[in-house]
Amino acid sequence: MLTVDVALAFFAASLLLGIAPGPDNIFVLTQSAVYGAGAGVVTTLGLVTGLCVHTAAVALGVAAIFQSSPLAFTLLKTVGAAYLLWLAWLSFRAGASLALTGGGAAPFPGYAALYRRGIVMNVTNPKVSLFFLAFLPQFCDPSRGSVALQVLGLGLLFMLATLVVFFSVALLGGRLAQWFNKAPGGQILIHRAAGLVFAGLALLLLFSGK
């Protein structure tokens, strides 16, 4: 099993990785800036649920398929990019509707939809599995027992670090949402910005290599 020293070192590394700008924390910031801090928290829970899938994939060796099969890797990231482009279209459409009606509050999609967005955003990014496949085993030692159980333990620690960092990002986004709700045309601006962010993330996922 994991020693205290290894667990603390891994948790500290995970916190630093969570703080570094990336698609997931940008996604949380965007959702909370549009719909408030609660939306960012729920989106984070969806992303962490997706991390459960990636952790299990590494523990079971399934992630190696994406490393060895370019076709499987390309298909999954294409699905992820298409989903992000769909979210971009929804954001642009919402911004256009608000512009026609003279602004107002953003139409809230519901917490269940935001939770699903977090799951799909994370699960359809094969790079997360490849990252876990490269990162988690570095902290495992076969002499300490089952490597699969160690991977699961590390995955849980990574999820905890993600919750700590992304909840903070959600609170920051909530402050932005309050500001945009007060500013004339703020909701129109934030929806258009969100659309650009989603489109950019889709292109980044689609055209970057392993």
Q: Give 10-residue mean pLDDT values along the chain (210 residues).
A: 87 87 85 89 95 88 73 80 83 65 65 94 84 81 82 92 94 81 66 78 74
Whole-prediction pTM value? Answer: 0.78
Are 28 and 169 in contact by the 8 Å Cβ rule? The answer is yes
Count CA atoms within 13 Å of residue 132 on its CB side: 33
Strands annotated E in 30-186: none
In whole angstroms, give the CA distance from residue 157 to residue 134: 16
Per-residue pLDDT at 139: 86
